[in-house]
Amino acid sequence: MNQKTKGDKETIGRVAVYPGSFDPLTYGHIDIVERALDIFDKVILAIAHETSDASKRSLFTVEERIEMAKEVFEHLPNVIVDSFKGLLVNYVGETNARVILRGLRATSDFEYEFHMASMNRSLNIHLDTMFMMTSKDYFFVSSRSIKEVSALGGAVEGLVPNLIARRLKEKFKLPLTKEKQIGWEY
Ligand code: PNS
Protein backbone atom coordinates (compact mmCIF):
# COMPACT_ATOMS: atom_id res chain seq x y z
CA MET A 1 0.00 0.00 0.00
CA ASN A 2 1.35 3.39 -0.93
CA GLN A 3 0.86 5.77 1.97
CA LYS A 4 1.64 8.78 -0.20
CA THR A 5 -1.25 8.17 -2.59
CA LYS A 6 -3.75 7.76 0.20
CA GLY A 7 -3.51 11.05 2.04
CA ASP A 8 -0.33 12.47 3.43
CA LYS A 9 0.06 14.28 6.76
CA GLU A 10 -0.81 17.72 5.30
CA THR A 11 -4.24 16.56 4.28
CA ILE A 12 -5.00 14.77 7.52
CA GLY A 13 -8.64 15.21 8.43
CA ARG A 14 -9.57 16.14 4.88
CA VAL A 15 -9.40 12.66 3.51
CA ALA A 16 -12.47 10.46 3.57
CA VAL A 17 -12.58 6.74 3.07
CA TYR A 18 -15.73 5.67 1.26
CA PRO A 19 -15.94 1.90 1.80
CA GLY A 20 -18.33 -0.56 0.26
CA SER A 21 -18.84 -3.58 -1.92
CA PHE A 22 -19.56 -1.49 -5.03
CA ASP A 23 -20.78 -4.63 -6.75
CA PRO A 24 -21.29 -2.81 -9.04
CA LEU A 25 -20.76 0.92 -8.65
CA THR A 26 -23.95 2.90 -9.36
CA TYR A 27 -24.70 6.53 -10.07
CA GLY A 28 -25.86 6.70 -6.42
CA HIS A 29 -22.29 5.95 -5.29
CA ILE A 30 -20.79 8.27 -7.90
CA ASP A 31 -23.05 11.10 -6.77
CA ILE A 32 -21.83 10.65 -3.17
CA VAL A 33 -18.18 10.72 -4.29
CA GLU A 34 -18.66 13.83 -6.41
CA ARG A 35 -20.44 15.71 -3.60
CA ALA A 36 -17.85 14.55 -1.06
CA LEU A 37 -15.12 16.15 -3.18
CA ASP A 38 -16.65 19.56 -2.30
CA ILE A 39 -15.93 18.81 1.35
CA PHE A 40 -12.83 16.60 1.33
CA ASP A 41 -9.54 17.04 -0.51
CA LYS A 42 -9.36 13.38 -1.30
CA VAL A 43 -11.82 10.51 -1.35
CA ILE A 44 -10.56 6.96 -1.16
CA LEU A 45 -13.03 4.54 -2.64
CA ALA A 46 -12.21 1.40 -0.68
CA ILE A 47 -13.58 -1.75 -2.23
CA ALA A 48 -14.11 -4.55 0.28
CA HIS A 49 -12.86 -8.05 -0.42
CA GLU A 50 -15.45 -9.31 2.02
CA THR A 51 -18.48 -7.70 3.67
CA SER A 52 -20.04 -8.08 7.11
CA ASP A 53 -22.88 -9.96 5.41
CA ALA A 54 -21.49 -13.47 4.92
CA SER A 55 -24.46 -14.48 2.76
CA LYS A 56 -23.52 -11.86 0.18
CA ARG A 57 -21.58 -13.32 -2.77
CA SER A 58 -20.23 -10.76 -5.15
CA LEU A 59 -21.02 -10.83 -8.86
CA PHE A 60 -17.83 -9.07 -9.89
CA THR A 61 -14.40 -10.01 -8.56
CA VAL A 62 -12.54 -7.37 -6.57
CA GLU A 63 -10.18 -6.95 -9.54
CA GLU A 64 -13.12 -6.31 -11.86
CA ARG A 65 -14.68 -3.83 -9.43
CA ILE A 66 -11.37 -1.97 -9.09
CA GLU A 67 -10.92 -1.86 -12.85
CA MET A 68 -14.43 -0.48 -13.42
CA ALA A 69 -14.12 2.10 -10.62
CA LYS A 70 -10.74 3.29 -11.94
CA GLU A 71 -12.28 3.81 -15.35
CA VAL A 72 -15.27 5.67 -13.92
CA PHE A 73 -13.14 8.01 -11.81
CA GLU A 74 -10.16 8.42 -14.11
CA HIS A 75 -11.08 12.09 -14.71
CA LEU A 76 -11.06 12.83 -10.97
CA PRO A 77 -7.45 12.75 -9.70
CA ASN A 78 -8.57 13.27 -6.09
CA VAL A 79 -10.41 9.98 -6.09
CA ILE A 80 -8.19 7.06 -5.17
CA VAL A 81 -9.52 3.59 -5.92
CA ASP A 82 -8.22 0.95 -3.58
CA SER A 83 -9.32 -2.32 -1.98
CA PHE A 84 -9.08 -3.68 1.52
CA LYS A 85 -9.23 -6.98 3.35
CA GLY A 86 -10.21 -7.52 6.95
CA LEU A 87 -11.40 -4.85 9.32
CA LEU A 88 -12.28 -1.51 7.81
CA VAL A 89 -10.93 0.42 10.81
CA ASN A 90 -7.50 -1.16 10.35
CA TYR A 91 -7.47 -0.13 6.73
CA VAL A 92 -8.62 3.43 7.51
CA GLY A 93 -5.94 3.66 10.21
CA GLU A 94 -3.29 3.06 7.54
CA THR A 95 -4.54 5.92 5.36
CA ASN A 96 -4.38 8.84 7.83
CA ALA A 97 -8.03 9.56 7.12
CA ARG A 98 -10.28 10.14 10.12
CA VAL A 99 -13.58 9.95 8.33
CA ILE A 100 -15.51 6.99 7.02
CA LEU A 101 -18.08 8.14 4.51
CA ARG A 102 -21.32 6.31 3.82
CA GLY A 103 -24.41 7.13 1.79
CA LEU A 104 -27.87 6.84 3.31
CA ARG A 105 -30.83 6.21 1.05
CA ALA A 106 -33.72 5.78 3.44
CA THR A 107 -34.53 5.04 7.04
CA SER A 108 -34.30 1.34 6.16
CA ASP A 109 -30.54 1.80 5.76
CA PHE A 110 -30.25 3.46 9.13
CA GLU A 111 -30.21 0.46 11.48
CA TYR A 112 -27.45 -1.35 9.57
CA GLU A 113 -25.42 1.83 9.20
CA PHE A 114 -25.87 2.84 12.84
CA HIS A 115 -24.71 -0.59 13.95
CA MET A 116 -21.68 -0.50 11.67
CA ALA A 117 -20.70 3.08 12.61
CA SER A 118 -21.03 2.28 16.33
CA MET A 119 -18.96 -0.89 16.01
CA ASN A 120 -16.27 0.92 14.03
CA ARG A 121 -16.14 3.71 16.59
CA SER A 122 -15.85 1.25 19.43
CA LEU A 123 -12.94 -0.36 17.57
CA ASN A 124 -11.24 2.98 16.93
CA ILE A 125 -12.39 6.04 18.87
CA HIS A 126 -10.40 8.33 16.56
CA LEU A 127 -12.58 7.55 13.55
CA ASP A 128 -15.96 9.02 12.76
CA THR A 129 -18.52 7.94 10.24
CA MET A 130 -20.21 10.68 8.26
CA PHE A 131 -23.34 10.12 6.22
CA MET A 132 -24.52 11.84 3.10
CA MET A 133 -28.08 11.49 1.92
CA THR A 134 -28.29 9.92 -1.50
CA SER A 135 -29.67 12.38 -4.01
CA LYS A 136 -33.38 12.07 -4.79
CA ASP A 137 -32.62 10.84 -8.30
CA TYR A 138 -30.94 7.71 -6.99
CA PHE A 139 -32.53 6.89 -3.64
CA PHE A 140 -34.18 3.77 -5.16
CA VAL A 141 -30.95 2.53 -6.75
CA SER A 142 -28.94 -0.21 -5.06
CA SER A 143 -26.27 -2.54 -6.41
CA ARG A 144 -28.56 -5.42 -5.48
CA SER A 145 -31.52 -4.10 -7.52
CA ILE A 146 -29.23 -3.22 -10.42
CA LYS A 147 -28.00 -6.84 -10.53
CA GLU A 148 -31.50 -8.23 -10.30
CA VAL A 149 -32.92 -5.99 -13.01
CA SER A 150 -29.95 -6.63 -15.25
CA ALA A 151 -30.05 -10.40 -14.72
CA LEU A 152 -33.70 -10.37 -15.81
CA GLY A 153 -32.93 -8.40 -18.95
CA GLY A 154 -34.07 -4.95 -17.80
CA ALA A 155 -32.26 -1.77 -18.79
CA VAL A 156 -30.01 -0.19 -16.20
CA GLU A 157 -28.57 2.54 -18.39
CA GLY A 158 -28.99 5.87 -16.61
CA LEU A 159 -28.59 4.20 -13.23
CA VAL A 160 -25.04 2.96 -13.76
CA PRO A 161 -22.38 4.25 -16.16
CA ASN A 162 -22.57 2.70 -19.63
CA LEU A 163 -19.31 0.81 -19.15
CA ILE A 164 -20.84 -0.93 -16.13
CA ALA A 165 -24.15 -1.61 -17.90
CA ARG A 166 -22.06 -3.27 -20.60
CA ARG A 167 -20.13 -5.37 -18.08
CA LEU A 168 -23.40 -6.46 -16.48
CA LYS A 169 -24.71 -7.62 -19.84
CA GLU A 170 -21.52 -9.57 -20.42
CA LYS A 171 -21.85 -11.22 -17.01
CA PHE A 172 -25.43 -12.18 -17.64
CA LYS A 173 -24.71 -13.02 -21.29
CA LEU A 174 -27.32 -10.59 -22.58
CA PRO A 175 -27.23 -9.17 -26.10
CA LEU A 176 -25.15 -6.01 -26.13
CA THR A 177 -27.07 -4.18 -28.81
CA LYS A 178 -30.82 -4.72 -28.59
CA GLU A 179 -32.14 -4.23 -25.03
CA LYS A 180 -34.66 -6.63 -23.64
CA GLN A 181 -37.16 -4.89 -21.41
CA ILE A 182 -38.65 -7.28 -18.90
CA GLY A 183 -41.12 -5.83 -16.49
CA TRP A 184 -39.34 -2.56 -15.93
CA GLU A 185 -39.46 0.43 -18.17
CA TYR A 186 -38.63 4.06 -17.65
O1 PNS B 1 -21.59 -1.80 0.31
P2 PNS B 1 -21.74 -2.57 1.58
O3 PNS B 1 -21.80 -4.05 1.28
O4 PNS B 1 -22.89 -2.11 2.41
O5 PNS B 1 -20.39 -2.31 2.42
C6 PNS B 1 -20.23 -2.90 3.69
C7 PNS B 1 -18.79 -2.76 4.16
C8 PNS B 1 -17.85 -3.37 3.15
C9 PNS B 1 -18.45 -1.29 4.35
C10 PNS B 1 -18.69 -3.52 5.53
O11 PNS B 1 -19.17 -4.80 5.37
C12 PNS B 1 -17.26 -3.57 6.07
O13 PNS B 1 -16.75 -2.59 6.55
N14 PNS B 1 -16.61 -4.76 5.96
C15 PNS B 1 -15.25 -4.94 6.44
C16 PNS B 1 -15.24 -5.80 7.70
C17 PNS B 1 -15.45 -4.94 8.94
O18 PNS B 1 -14.72 -4.01 9.22
N19 PNS B 1 -16.49 -5.27 9.71
C20 PNS B 1 -16.81 -4.57 10.94
C21 PNS B 1 -17.88 -3.53 10.74
S22 PNS B 1 -19.35 -4.02 11.53
* 29 is a catalytic site residue: yes
Tell me whether residue 143 is one of the annotated catalytic residues: yes
| Distance of alpha carbon 171 from alpha carbon 160, whole angstroms | 15
| Threshold 0.85, pTM exceeds | yes
- Tell me, using a 6 A CB cutoff, whether residue 52 lines ligand 1: yes
Q: What are phi and psi of 87, to 5 degrees?
A: -70, 135
- 21 CB less than 6 Å from ligand 1? yes
119 lines ligand 1 (CB under 6 A): yes
Active site residue 167: no
Pocket test for ligand 1, best of 22, 52, 95, 143 (most atoms within 8 A of CB): 52
HEC string for 41-88: CEEEEEEECCCCCCCCCCCCCHHHHHHHHHHHCCCCCCEEEEEECCCH
Tell me which of 26, 30, 88, 127 to substitute to probe ligand 1's pocket, judged by most ligand atoms within 8 Å of the beta carbon.
88
Q: What confidence score (pLDDT) does residue 12 get?
A: 54
Ligand 1 pocket check for 155: Cβ under 6 Å: no
pLDDT-derived band at 57, boundaries 50, 70, 90: confident
Assign 3-class secondary structure to 91-119. Answer: HHHHHCCCEEEEEECCHHHHHHHHHHHHH
Q: Considering only residues 7 and 163, tell me which one the structure prediction assigns the higher pLDDT.
A: 163
**Dihedral sign, CA of 23, 27, 28, 33?**
positive
Q: How confident is the model at residue 183 (pLDDT cuts 50, 70, 90)?
A: very low
Q: Decide: 134 in ligand 1 pocket, CB within 6 A.
A: no
Torsion angles phi and psi, residue 118, rounded to 5: -70, -45
